[in-house]
Structure 1
Amino acid sequence: MSTDARPFGFWTATALIVGSMIGSGIFLLPVAIAPYGWIGVIAWLVSITGAVMIGYAIARLGQKMPEQTGAVAITAAVLGPWVGVLVGWAYWISTWTTIAAIAGAAVSYLGVFGPLLIATPLNGALATIALIWLFTATNLLGARAAGRVQVVTTLLKLLPLIAVVAILAWLGVTGQAHAPAWPGTSAGYGGLTAAVTLTLFPLLGFECAGMISERVRNPARTVMRATMVGTVVTGLLYILVSSGIAFAIPAEQVAASSAPFALFVETFWGRGAGLLVAAFAALAAIGALNGWVLLQGEVPLGMARAGLLPGWFGRVNMRDVPVRVLLLSSVLSSLLVLSTASRSLSGAFQFAALLTTCTVLWLYAAICVAALLRRVAVLPAGLGLAFTGWAMVGAGLEASGWGLALTLTGAPVYWWARRGAGVARAVTRDLVRGPPGDV
């Protein structure tokens, strides 16, 4: 492919990973993690380790199978097209449900400055849909334009995290930081499974470079480097800022806040600084939204080019943008937002986040099984598979069941793709043989 077809080098691929991970989740998670104390820190370490193991397995498989267009195509090549279609379909569902969650969270942050945006649930839903379509339009300009937006927004969204790190360093130097008692929750170590599930959602996106490897220059080398660097750096930053906020401010105060980052900065630097952090939190969600809108078009495109989805999903315009599937994804995301318009923005966020986590876990499990069967990155794949199973248990039977049900909706699409392939083979055979009566 040309440079235009592969616009993502190491820095852009890393920015895509970091930008997709640092979205709304980390800016809301201290609220849920605060009551866990040190158990929350352990949960972060477990989730980050699991993400690194799965990401490493994806990258190593990509190195061993460079002819494949991404992680879904690799899964199909190893486990069969049926499994490949189902997990790829599940991952595609997770992209547009993520978009609904992130766009809603971005609007809730923007509502600090424009209360009319969130005056009613319907207002919030309409503003969320408007934001989705704004970045759909950006991605219609091509992957290169989306990549540039991602680099800029990733750099800017790091600022509120750096502000929190600076305050934590100052608290440590002045001796004002006080660690909570070990382990810091009445559930003790029994709460670890629930905490691991909570810390997984903000880490989703670590796999995105491996999902669109056909857009990455020198993917055998770049995907591995970008995945490892992006996941480890972002994960460590998550531990520091999330645990730091929970440790520096009373847990009950953090748990009662709708904007824990703004609360933290405002506590130590004043109201103006808190509002500035709220603005950057909105920017973080917007940057993540851009990355996930890119993925919602690229994942089905890669599957169609691998023969796993009907050709309809692989149609592109002159900029090599899968316009049809990009528009379809944004329509489905908008419908999800409208279906939750009667809820608060936070309620809609939680619902969409639950759908996302439970659908994407099936891809993680499948890629680990594929690595084990190919005897590639056996130890990381084994650990990643165990982590995925643990996260499914933590999500609960109901949530995991919904994830499985959504995954199985890909079965008719698989039949459609197989039927189309059968028709194409029949036409080719007839053309080779010629019409009846030819000699």
Structure 2
Amino acid sequence: MSGSEPGKIGLWASTSLVVGNMIGAGIFLVPAAMASYGSISLLGWLFSGIGTFFLAKVFANLSKMLPTATGGPYAYTHHAFGDFAGFLVAWGYWLSNVCSLAAVAISLISALSTFFPVLDKSATAAIITGLGFIWLVTWLNNRGIKTSGNVQLITTVAKLLPLVVIAIGGLFFIRLQNFHPFNSSGKSVFEGISSTAAITMYSFLGIECASIPAGNVKNPKKTISRATMLGLAVTALVYILGSISIMGIIPQKTLMHSVTPYADAAVIMFGNSARYWASAGVAVAAFGALNGWTLVQGQFPYAVAKDKLFPSFFSRLNDNGAPYAAIIVNSVFVSLFMVMNFTKGLVEQFKFLILLTTLTTLVPYLFCAAGYIIIRFDKKHLHSGGWASAILIGSLAFAYSLWAVAGSGQDTVYYGFLLLMAGIPFYVWSVYKKNTVADRQ
């Protein structure tokens, strides 16, 4: 494929999809969540970064072996394990991201409340604003992947600027005494690292995003692999340096109670006015993640519907080549879940949905790690590398994913499993419809 294919995204837009979807608004609160553990939390970042590296290698290598497999985790699982496993991954991943998108919309509203206090006081104003942004990115994504990819690239660069300024500039404001105590978790060093890595691993979710719109990527065999590894490198660097700077700038006891750690660090570095551009960075990060995950949520069910495991209307394309039906259905559900958060009596249900879907973001990683070994042993792919490296990378990625599932908690695993099983009736119906159509033909 040439590098001038119209209507497709290239390396930088693909990389921004990875970086933009991993770096959502939540990362701006992570340093505060980690503060109670002490500077041992920096080793947690390192540990989760190494684990994610093996996952990134799995997705990068799978994209070379199956370069046009739109749907990423679903497509790889479907290829390795067949319809049922593919459907379970698709069902859980789709539901998970719908709920996550609602949470991203809420974080965008929260960030904007710094500039518009009415959003913090009026549920009606917050709901209208949230719905406005949800349907704005719906419109953008329906204009085609080129448009949404360009928006993603712009917002990713914009969100990285304040993060990089604080991550690198903050190194000059560090006070070494702020790194003490090293381990205040009350646990052993190993347990402390495990606990902090369990928190940080969620910040790397989205490493697979470059592979999902594979059919709309220029030269996917090279681009997706490069975008995945480059995206991880940029994100890990920003995460780790940012955590070092903030932990070194803000005393531990103060950081533990901060609700805006990046903004607080910016104030120490540049004065009170810096709080506003830091808050603007959070808003841009949230908007970029909203756009990027909406892109993913259009491409993902589109790929599943093409295999007749989701309703056929998800595979409909508009004149811009965008899976408009999948995007619109996704936005309807995201809108409903967002409204739930601002409705008394439904807040707990919304939080419960977020908890439920945590597991379903990790299960695809398990399947893809195992599927990578299977696909690599396929005769068609023996030329792509040695068996030993395939087994090593796949096994380490699988072990890390399994550890992440275990670390998500007993309740999450139990209810997440029930959520996955709830999709079985839909799978049976899809198979019935698929066989019925085949019989008629």
Question: How far apart are the structure 1 equivalents of 2:233 and 2:17?
Answer: 14
The unaligned stretches of length 5 or more in structure 1 are: 429-439
C-alpha contact (below 8 Å) 1:177/1:248 kept by paired residues: no
Question: How far apart are the structure 2 equivalents of 1:236 and 1:353?
Answer: 27
Amino acid at match of 1:299: F
Matched, 1:405 2:418: yes
Q: Deviations over 1:261-305 (max 9, x none)?
A: 111111231110111111121111111111011111110011222
Match of 2:156 in 1: 154
Question: Cα distance, 1:76 vs. partner?
Answer: 0.9
Task: Call closer, same or farther: CA 1:141–1:288 in 2, change over 3 Å.
Answer: same
Amino acid at match of 2:317: V
Q: Deviations over 1:67-104 (max 9, x none)?
A: 53342122112111100011011111122122111111
Aligned Cα root-mean-square deviation (Å): 2.5
Match of 2:396 in 1: 383
Question: Cα distance, 1:389 vs. partner?
Answer: 1.5
Question: Cα distance, 1:60 vs. partner?
Answer: 1.3
Match of 1:290 in 2: 291
Match of 1:431 in 2: none
C-alpha contact (below 8 Å) 1:254/1:260 kept by paired residues: yes
Q: State the TM-score, normalizing by the size of structure 2.
A: 0.90
Q: Deviations over 1:336-392 (max 9, x none)?
A: 122222479998996665344321101011111111333463212211111112112
Aligned pair count reads: 426
Question: Cα distance, 1:205 vs. partner?
Answer: 1.3
Match of 1:435 in 2: none
Question: Cα distance, 1:137 vs. partner?
Answer: 1.5
Amino acid at match of 2:155: T
Match of 1:144 in 2: 146
Matched, 1:13 2:14: yes
Residue number among 90, 103, 106 corresponding to 1:104 in the alignment: 106
Task: Call closer, same or farther: CA 1:37–1:349 in 2, change over 3 Å.
Answer: farther
Q: Which secondary structure state, in structure 2, belongs to the residue aligned with residue 38 of structure 1?
A: coil
Question: Cα distance, 1:111 vs. partner?
Answer: 0.3
C-alpha contact (below 8 Å) 1:304/1:314 kept by paired residues: yes
Question: How far apart are the structure 2 equivalents of 1:125 and 1:352?
Answer: 19
Match of 2:179 in 1: 179
The unaligned stretches of length 5 or more in structure 2 are: 378-389
Q: How does 1:311-330 map to 2 (within 5 A)?
A: 311-330=312-331
C-alpha contact (below 8 Å) 1:122/1:342 kept by paired residues: no
Question: How far apart are the structure 1 equivalents of 2:115 and 2:434?
Answer: 53
Task: Call closer, same or farther: CA 1:58–1:422 in 2, change over 3 Å.
Answer: same
Q: Deviations over 1:200-239 (max 9, x none)?
A: 2221111101122112111111111110111122112101
Question: How far apart are the structure 2 equivalents of 1:276 and 1:228?
Answer: 29
Question: How far apart are the structure 1 equivalents of 2:411 and 2:163?
Answer: 34
C-alpha contact (below 8 Å) 1:39/1:188 kept by paired residues: no
Match of 1:212 in 2: 213
Match of 1:251 in 2: 252
C-alpha contact (below 8 Å) 1:105/1:285 kept by paired residues: yes
Question: How far apart are the structure 1 equivalents of 2:216 and 2:437?
Answer: 28
Question: How far apart are the structure 1 equivalents of 2:194 and 2:6?
Answer: 42
Residue number among 88, 91, 94 corresponding to 2:90 in the alignment: 88
Q: Which secondary structure state, in structure 2, belongs to the residue aligned with residue 114 of structure 1?
A: coil
Task: Call closer, same or farther: CA 1:4–1:103 in 2, change over 3 Å.
Answer: farther
C-alpha contact (below 8 Å) 1:110/1:282 kept by paired residues: yes
Q: Which secondary structure state, in structure 2, belongs to the residue aligned with residue 36 of structure 1?
A: coil
Comparing 287-296 with 65-74, greater Cα deviation is found at: 65-74
